[in-house]
Structure 1
Amino acid sequence: LDAEIAALEEGVVEPLDDDHLLEEAENVIHLARELPADFSRVAESIAAMQRDVVAELRRDVRPTGEVLREYLERGRQVMQATPEGRAFQGALRLIGDPENIDDLTDQLHAVLAQPFSRLMTPDQRGELDAIARRVEAGVQEVLTAQRRASHVITAQVRTHDPIRDRQVDDLLRGVMAGLHRWSQTRSPGRVEPVRTLPLADVGHLRQSLSDVRPAGAPEPLASDTSDVEFVDADTRAWGGPHYAELEAYVAGLGSGFDLAEAFAGADAETRRPVDLVGLLEIVHRGGLVETDEVSIVEAVRPDGTTRRFAFGAVRAGSSAPADADLSGTDDHVRESTPDD
């Protein structure tokens, strides 16, 4: 052996015969044929672990973290302690670097270019050339199984409901027990499948959302005013003109009086802005005379604030039709420019 190693270091290599090379190539092909089975066993182990983890989570006996840690430990053991797991890890390292796949492909092409390859059958040459693709397909199968297991376990952890899972399990066990009893009493033969579920006969459903109680008369108005509360403020002070007080006031003024002077001499309760319009209406009924002068009056609102109004001077006349046109009565009065 030392002599052979020394010869190799010096570059002296004795070429092997074609039979020996063919035997080594067949050994490589035989090992490559076992790769898909190794990858399939790894994928099956991952699927089995997924089923065990989901079943353990549904039983809700142990904490979720403990079950997941056990799943990760089992996955590590599958990859490190089994031949198929080690084969997958090696294949994963191989395709992890694109240069490795390129080197493997170049080396396989170099082998197929050797003279001994003419002794191989076309199927053997095809299998030797497809080793790189077979490794990539096997690794992809295992990675797909890992992603599927992670997705299923993650969904189970997020939507884990022990009560619902127990109800589903009880329902399935009841269905299986019922099928078992039915199969014992049923004579052998063809069983017609249930294509549609039966419909429940619920009769006529309501088509409106109105009250089902019959319509009746409204409740009578309450006549008891013992619980009525009255506010202290005089809300009528903010209402319309005090016609009764104004008519009594105008009756004592006689005829031919000036409207502005009459409004200025009225009581404070009847000198509101609305009372000015009421006074103008009352004077209009008996006839009025308009002049070219401008009258300015100061009205007092119920809250004590004042407003000044300017309008064309008006004097009360002696007589006028009782049904005189009152349209435009309030057009005689406009609020003056406020300077107070």
Structure 2
Amino acid sequence: MTLHADLRVARGRFRLDAELTVEPGEVVALLGPNGAGKTTALRALAGLLPLTGGHIRVGGRTWDAPPDVFRPAERRPIGVVFQDYLLFAHLSALENVAFGLRARGVGRAEERERAARWLDRVGLAEHAKARPRTLSGGQAQRVALARALVTGPELLLLDEPLAALDAATRLHVRAELGRHLRDFPGHTLLVTHDPLDAMVLADRLVVLEHGEVVQQGTPAEVARRPRTAYVADLVGLNLYRGTARGTAVELDDGGTLTVATPADGPVHVVFPPTAVSLHPDHPTGSPRNAWRVTVAGIEQHAHTTRLRLDGVPPVLADVTTATVADLRLQPGDALWAAVKATEVHAYPA
């Protein structure tokens, strides 16, 4: 049974107008900058915020279709894992997991047995009596996941489920969460700011900006062919829009780039920051794209240095620390940027 949501919500000056579908067993990641409408979409699906238009349907059942139908949160078969987990501090791990079953009228013996089974599935059987304050961040996240899944929900909503974890714990818990999501037969919507969480955990990405869906597809499709500046920044690519005539692309905001594969008409053009080489003088040899740039910013990124370069077009370049030292780079320095045509990819806009 497909979950189909035509989410239309008006809140003051903000408008959410987005369509989502999630198939059984599918994990869909909802991405977008702050204020894009991700939380509004999640709250609408959870039954915490009524739609002002559109509908939410699972199979032949309608959860929300104003003005006639609205099923509140407690009557929707959903499970939710919040960013801060929201475990009950006065209850043990077992009692936290059992809480949703108790609220649904399950008998005490059955609720404890089912809760214990889920704690064992997430590897926390020996922590059944522990209170949340004694658990690590990763353990608390697993208790919250068990609490969300123990009721057998049709829709699992994950709201930044790894955001509260440190980097080392996050790597392990992400892999573990992925294993549980692969075994979950229902519909899963993951709301996240983290592109790695989305790329690793989701089958499909849906990108929201200003309350509208601007791009969707598999992680590989979105990573290879971003369609907005936000998505390009998310996946680490330089993105431009222009008009192609053969192997030449005239960019909308100025400048021209040469591509290896001929195209025609409106296109997006992308290449990674690692494809950019920098030179004190006009480069000679194989690069077919070269233009003057000025260093606008320098940022250290792990073992590379990210340079923001003003020019026509402006560009991001990732270079080694040795290159920064060799060129003695400082903001305001004038250089030549070069990119091989074979590194520049164009696709229909």
Q: Please state which band the TM-score falls in when normalised by the shorter chain.
A: under 0.3
Look at both structures and tell me which one has the larger radius of gyration over its CA atoms.
1
**TM-score calculated relative to the size of structure 2:** 0.19
Give the structure with the larger strand fraction. 2
Give the structure with the larger helix fraction. 1
RCO (CA 8 Å, sep 6+): is it higher in 1 or 2? Answer: 2
**TM-score calculated relative to the size of structure 1:** 0.20
